[in-house]
A = this chain, B = another copy of it.
Amino acid sequence: MTSKPASNSVKNRGSWKQNPDAVKADILRVARAEFADHGLSGARIQEIAEKTKTSKRMIFYYFKDKENLYREVLEQAYREVRQGEKALALDSLDPVEALTQLVAFTFTHHRANEDFIRLVMIENIHRGVHLSASETIRAGNSPAVEQLSAILERGTAQKLFKPDIAAQQLHWKISALCFFNVSNEPTFSRVFGNDLMTEAGQAALRQDVVDTIVGSVLA
């Protein structure tokens, strides 16, 4: 026997370090972009793996299967967006100004988080079944609605706002306008021209959305 390894038929298997959390986070990061880009059935595990520092093997090791990976991506995205909404401090402003800020922020925030918007679009295409399967995503922990409620309460107390404005319904209207702006940009601009999607158009739109929403609650 020589001092060399007995067998040279053993293929070279590179060495590696263990860092499960980083690997999982890396996979989630890449998967999120891919799912947002191509949808659940359109995304390719292969493609996700290649953009990762790890392998296809590990995706299934940590996330079981494609649907589960998608669900975890969705959950993470919801959590992050909620986190972002919490950052707003509106308590010190008078109700009208607070509402103005909230709407303007939502408009800008949605624009800046296109991936999240697209994930929500995709989930709606799937009729929300993966959201249902998720334990962590539930009502009540939506900072946006809570802040809105607080503003409405103060505004109504000061008789600046109409009485009996429903926070949930108002939130729905704000969401609709801000969400649609991002979600339907491609088809809308192709059918009607992209005037509203230029920088100037978006500024005008944001102002219009703010005015429309604020106008709808003023006494």
A residues at B contact (CB < 8 Å): 38-42, 118, 120-128, 131-132, 137-139, 142, 145, 168-169, 171-173, 175-177, 179-181, 183-193, 195-196, 204-205, 208-209, 211-213, 215-216
Counted per complex, copies of this chain come to 2
Say yes or no: A192 contacts B169, CB within 8 Å.
Answer: no
User: Within the assembled complex, what's the spacing in Å between the Cα atoms of A186 and B121?
Assistant: 10
CB atoms of A39 and B125 under 8 A apart: yes
Contact of A187 among B118, B120, B138, B195 (CB under 8 A): B120
Q: Is the interface of A mostly helix, strand, loop or mixed?
A: helix
Q: Is the CB of B39 within 8 A of A184?
A: no
Which of A128, A132, A191, A212 has the largest number of chain B CB atoms within 10 A? A191
Residues of B within 8 Å of A42, CB to CB, are 39-42
Kindly identify which residue among B122, B180, B205, B212 contacts A180, using a CB–CB cutoff of 8 Å.
Answer: B180
**Judging by beta carbons under 8 Å apart, are A208 and B125 in contact?**
no
A93 vs chain B, min Cβ distance (A): 23
How far apart sit A126 and B124, CA to CA, in the bound complex (Å)? 15
Shortest distance between the CB of A138 and any CB in chain B (Å):
7
| In contact, A204 and B38 (Cβ under 8 angstroms) | no
Which residues from chain B contact A213 at a C-beta distance below 8 Å? 212
Which residue in B171, B192, B215 is a CB contact (below 8 Å) of A215?
B215
Given A39-B41, A42-B41, A193-B139; A131-B186 close (CB under 8 Å): yes
Q: How far is the CA of A170 from the CA of B186 in the complex (A)?
A: 18
